[in-house]
Structure 1
Amino acid sequence: MTDVATARRSRLTPEREAELYEAVLDLLREVGYDALTMDAVAARTRSSKATLYRQWGGKAQLVVRALRQCKPHHLNDIDTGSLRGDLHAMVSQEDDCAMEQTSALMRGIAMAIHTNADLREAFSDQLIDPEMADFRKILERAIARGEVRSDCPALDFLLHMLVGGFATRALLDDKPPTQEFLISYVDAVVLPALGVHASS
Structure 2
Amino acid sequence: MPSPDSAQESARTSRRSKITPERAQELYTAVLDLLRESGYESLTMEGVASRTRCGKSTLYRQWGSKPELVVAALHGTRRTLLSHIDTGSLSGDLHSAAQAIDEASSGDTTLMHALSHAALQSPELLCALRETLIAPSIAAIDAMVERAVERGEIAADNPATAYVSAQLLGIMRARPLLEGRYADDAFLSGFIESSVLPALGLPPTPPGS
> Is the shorter-chain TM-score for this pair beyond 0.5, marking a shared fold?
yes
- Given the superposition, is the C-alpha separation of residues 107 and 153 from structure 1 closer, same or farther in structure 2, using an over 3 Å criterion? same
Number of residue pairs matched by the alignment: 199
Aligned-partner Cα distance in 2 for 1:127–1:151: 28
TM alignment of 1:1-200, pairs within 5 A: 7-95=14-102, 98-101=105-108, 103-199=109-205
State the one-letter code of the partner of 1:57. G
CA displacement 1:141-196 (0-9 Å, x = unmatched): 01111222222222222122112322333333333332222111111111112221
Shift of 1:97: 8.6
State the one-letter code of the partner of 2:160. A
Say which SS state the counterpart of residue 128 (structure 1) adopts: helix
Shift of 1:15: 0.8
Q: Which has the larger radius of gyration?
A: 2
Decide which moves more: 50-59 or 25-34. 25-34
Say which SS state the counterpart of residue 78 (structure 2) adopts: coil
Decide which moves more: 57-66 or 163-172. 163-172
Decide which moves more: 52-61 or 65-74. 65-74
- Given the superposition, is the C-alpha separation of residues 90 and 114 from structure 1 closer, same or farther in structure 2, using an over 3 Å criterion? same
Aligned-partner Cα distance in 2 for 1:145–1:59: 43
Contact 1:78 1:90 in 2 (8 A): yes
TM-score under structure 1 normalisation? 0.88
Aligned-partner Cα distance in 2 for 1:196–1:6: 48
Structure number with the bigger relative contact order (C-alpha 8 A, sep ≥ 6) is 1
State the one-letter code of the partner of 1:42. A
Say which SS state the counterpart of residue 72 (structure 1) adopts: coil
Aligned-partner Cα distance in 1 for 2:104–2:130: 25
Say which SS state the counterpart of residue 140 (structure 2) adopts: helix
Shift of 1:7: 4.6
Aligned-partner Cα distance in 2 for 1:60–1:6: 20
Structure 1: runs of 5+ lacking an equivalent: none
- Matched-pair identity in %: 43
Structure 2: runs of 5+ lacking an equivalent: none
Aligned-partner Cα distance in 2 for 1:30–1:7: 33
Aligned-partner Cα distance in 2 for 1:123–1:23: 19
